Amino acid sequence: MCKSIPGNQKHMTMDQRIIIEKRLDQGNSLHSIALQLGKDPTTISKEIKKHRTIQEHSHFNESKNKCALIKDCKKKNICEIYAPICKRMCKLCNHCNSHCDDFIPRSYHCSKLDKAPFVCNACSKKSGCRLDKAYYRATIAHREYRTVLIESRTGINISPEDLITLDELVSPLIMQGQSPYMILQIIRRSLTQKKRFTLH
């Protein structure tokens, strides 16, 4: 285990996230990364999946036909609009997807992202790949972590008196089986009336 990166912290540090990114770029296994950081491989796995960044596939020079069956499709005249004049295969038509009953939307998801290391950092085919990609970037991961941490510590900005008032208003509505939407509408109406009363 690397002595410079202690592994007994409860939370992942920026230094540890940098190590994860570098090792992923080098194609190291999650097990070897976990050993270096003194963490459980499951912890590393959760960190990567939680903070990976999804990059949508390139639309450059992309076919307008979004069907997954386009490669083997031999259909003709499915729309019957131009039949028998049209001699082209339907897969070459821009309106094919909206007329074909067998249309299956093409998936841009890479199945490799469903298993370790869950990212494309070290993939040798990423430059020419037309699928959606996922990357682990230490700076982005740490920024997301800090944002969640700050929000979780902020809490609700409400006084004890207002909290009691809110509880007295909401609890009976919940007991009556009111929907969340109706409860929100009643709260808004109550707050509006309270503001009007205060102004007068």
Q: pLDDT for 98-131, tens place per residue? A: 889 999 998 999 999 999 999 999 999 999 899 9
The answer to whether the beta carbons of residues 48 and 118 sit under 8 Å apart is yes
Q: Cα(116)–Cα(93) distance, rounded to whole angstroms?
A: 39
Which residue, chain included where needed, has tokens 């109406």? 189
pLDDT of the residue at 39: 95
Q: What percent of the chain has pLDDT over 90?
A: 47
The closest alpha carbon to 53, from 152, 132, 150, belongs to 132
Could you tell me the pTM of the whole model?
0.64
Q: Cα(33)–Cα(15) distance, rounded to whole angstroms?
A: 13
Q: Cα(194)–Cα(150) distance, rounded to whole angstroms?
A: 32
Q: Cα(140)–Cα(111) distance, rounded to whole angstroms?
A: 24
